[in-house]
Structure 1
Amino acid sequence: MTSWDDLRDRILSGMWMAGLGIAGIWLGGIWFQMLTVFVTAVMIWELWMMIQPDQPTPGMLLSALTASILSGLIASPDPFYLLILLIAPAIGAAALKKERLTFVGFALGITIAGWGLVTFRENYGVVWLLWMVLVVIVTDIAGYFAGKMFGGPKFWPAISPKKTWSGTVAGWVGAALVGFAFLSFTNAGSDLPWISVALSFASQMGDIAESALKRRQGVKDSSTLIPGHGGLFDRFDGLLGAALVMLLVALVVDVPQVSF
């Protein structure tokens, strides 16, 4: 029997998160920067608490340090200053009693992704970033419902026992549909649908990576901040994966300008 016990909380929490996120993306500028800095800092705190929950104070201090560093970095267009993103992960690793490399890897990924999202918004416009966010959201929603309805073989049971192949493929299909939809009103090239699928897979790998971290640390959620969703890290892990992949792509090829 399929259980939908968490559906109401997931929908309500998802609606206000999506509304806040889309509003921030639409407004851009300082509004989106503040939202990104806040979410990034909270995720650093959640990461610390998953690894060393008995000492919350250093996690809060690292969160504040991350917010300060990221705010300063956003104000500077010089890529050289990206090196300062190493400061918070390095300090956190030095303060931890265990999982130092784990913290460095995830903390660096979180902060780079946060910087990347703001950079994407400023350089490529609102529609481009909305496309990426919608690909991640539709991947998650399609995967959730298909997995609940159809079930079937697990995608990676050793790490994420709830994720199924039916949900994974449904996420790819949903992402492709988002790509086709954006082709109808933007100047993006015909490759957008398959790029959307690739981005969908990246977001799923972001979710898998966070699932592996939680399983390693023996926790169910990154925190209990969001009813039905866990913590911000639980909700934005897919977006982190997608943003990091798009950053790598942008280093190799020109990202198409998508605008009204």
Structure 2
Amino acid sequence: MNNLTIRILSAIVMVGVALAATWQGGMLFAVFVAAVATAVYWEWWRMVRGWNGLWKVGGFFYALIPAVALLYVREQVPDGFDLVIWVYLVTWGTDIGGYASGKMIGGPKLAPALSPNKTWAGLIGAMAMAGFFGALWADLNDLSAHLFWLGALFALGAQIGDLFESGLKRKAGIKDSSNLIPGHGGVFDRVDGLLIVATLTALLVMWNWV
């Protein structure tokens, strides 16, 4: 199989597992989130090996806080499932919109020192697609009005998370955080934006905005 086919099949499996665990909730979802967080921290540890010990401590919390946030959001009644799906859709919209716009339009680089392939057009496309996905899901499921416009803003947060991980990889001199996911690299590579979106969404819930 070529690399594109492998990427597509891996993506289908990842999305299917994430949706099934989220739908089930409870212990299954907790185990799923814990497994992802553990993988993220393992990949972080590999990247920062030999660095100052504070990097290892910081990585622990960087993986832990979004995991706790996602579990907290899922436990909300009655909208926990819909809110977690909103987190997924905003993150996926960011990735899809950023990739498509960056490829089709190109133009000035967003942060060449961190990620040479990201462009300002990609950022705008990411925000547009995340905003659309988030607003559509919020409308279909009668979620808080804040979620109609926060998708685009949270896409900016997801891009910052992506650039932060890119900076770590560049400092470590590696292309991918690991090779755990065929065709995609590591778990951290796939959830770098979601870590930020999940945390921000949990804060919205805590502040009674949703």
> Scaled by the length of structure 2, what TM-score is found?
0.91
Structure 1 residue 190 corresponds to structure 2 residue 145: yes
Map of 1:178-217 to 2, 5 A cutoff?
178-217=133-172
Tell me which structure has the larger Cα radius of gyration: 1
Separation of aligned partners in 1, 2:90 and 2:58? 25
8 Å CA contact retained: 2:70, 2:199: no
Give CA deviations for 1:190-229 in whole Å, capped at 9, x if unaligned: 3323211111111111111111111111111110111221
Q: Which residue of 1 aligns with 2:100?
A: 145
Q: Does 1:37 align with 2:34?
A: yes
**Structure 2 residue runs without a partner (length 5+):** none
Letter of the structure 1 residue corresponding to residue 56 of structure 2: F
Residue of structure 1 in register with 2:202 after alignment: 247
Counterpart mapping for 1:103-142 below 5 A: 103-123=56-76, 124-142=79-97
Q: Secondary structure at the match of 1:190?
A: coil
Who is 1:18 aligned against? 15
TM-align CA RMSD: 1.7
Structure 1: distance between partners of 2:3 and 2:154: 27
Structure 2 distance, partners of 1:99, 1:150, is: 40
- 1:188 Cα deviation after fit: 2.4
Match of residue 24 from structure 2:
27
Q: 3-state SS of the aligned residue for 2:182?
A: coil
Same amino acid, percent of matched pairs = 39
Q: Deviations over 1:153-176 (max 9, x none)?
A: 111111111111111111111111
In structure 2, the residue matched to 1:219 is: 174
Aligned counterpart, 2:185 = 230
After TM superposition, give the deviation of residue 47 of structure 1 in Å: 1.0
1:8 aligns with 2:5: yes
Matched, 1:102 2:47: no
Letter in 2 for 1:203: A
**In the alignment, what sits opposite 2:111?**
156
Shift of 1:150: 1.7
Q: Please state how far the C-alpha of 1:6 moved relative to its aligned partner.
A: 5.0
CA contact (8 A) 2:72 2:202 kept: no
Task: Please tell me the residue identity of whatever aligns with 1:119.
Answer: Y
Amino acid at match of 1:230: G
List runs of 5+ in structure 1 lacking aligned partners.
53-96
Q: Report if the CA contact (8 A) 1:178-1:193 is conserved.
A: no
What is the CA–CA distance in structure 2 between the aligned matches of 1:32 and 1:24, rounded to whole Å? Answer: 5
**CA 15–192 in structure 1, closer or farther in 2 if over 3 Å, else same:** same
Q: Is 1:136–1:238's contact at 8 Å kept on the other side of the alignment?
A: yes
Task: Give the deviation of 1:180 after TM superposition.
Answer: 2.5
User: Secondary structure of 2:110's match?
Assistant: strand
Contact 2:10 2:182 in 1 (8 A): yes
Question: Hey, what's the Cα distance between the residues in 1 that align with 2:209 and 2:27?
Answer: 23
The CA distance in 2 between the partners of 1:193 and 1:164, in whole Å, is: 25
C-alpha separation in 2, matches of 1:197 and 1:7: 28
1:51 equivalent in structure 2: 48
